[in-house]
A and B are shown apart, each in its own frame.
Chain A
Amino acid sequence: AQTVTQSQPEMSVQEAETVTLSCTYDTSESDYYLFWYKQPPSRQMILVIRQEAYKQQNATENRFSVNFQKAAKSFSLKISDSQLGDAAMYFCAYRRPGSTLGRLYFGRGTQLTVWP
């Protein structure tokens, strides 16, 4: 089975500051897909951002960006100008190439607290 590791069970950040959540993964493939999902207290998982391994440019979605280091198998999420609504559990996920079945492998999550 694929391994996705989120080494920070909990993180906290002051409102308006920047925080980076870490994710590493284990794979022998050269092409794959990576995702960050957010789960707020309301419980519904929401896609934050996705990255295709063959694209060297780091994905960006508004205040959310990733630092994708393919050689290091690292996929960290940076949240800029943190807002109270960013408080949530964040999950990193990996998908193998050629996987039309869409199976994802998730990390154990990082609980982000945002302080006013």
Chain B
Amino acid sequence: DVKVTQSSRYLVKRTGEKVFLECVQDMDHENMFWYRQDPGLGLRLIYFSYDVKMKEKGDIPEGYSVSREKKERFSLILESASTNQTSMYLCASSLLGPNQPQHFGDGTRLSIL
């Protein structure tokens, strides 16, 4: 089975801090994704990556950056955390191909105080 592991299930940080959310997948997937999930808004794509060192902006990239130095790892970075970034963050990965499903991690519930 595909395993997508997010480094933290719960995280509390302070306004202005630089925050790193880590995601690792063990199935050699080319694609990796970071979503933000808020009640009533569904999943919104922040960034995605289709190869090492490659990244594409999603729908809400402002305030975020990403890093993909190795194929299995995709990091989301909040450069200067703000309270409006309090949310659930979901990482996913998939093989290339339009019918390939995305496999998700358990999510990180991030609170910015």
Contacts and interface: CB of A to CB of B under 8 A. Distances in A.
Contacts of B43: 91, 106
Main secondary structure of the interface of A (DSSP, over half): loop
Given A99-B98, A101-B31, A45 B104 contact: yes
B50 interface: yes
Interface residues of B, number: 30
A100 B96 contact: yes
Interface residues of A, number: 29
Nearest to B96: A100
Interface string B64-99: 000000000000000000000000101010111111
A109 B99 contact: no
A62 interface: no
Interface of B: 31, 33, 40-45, 48, 50, 56, 58-59, 88, 90, 92, 94-107
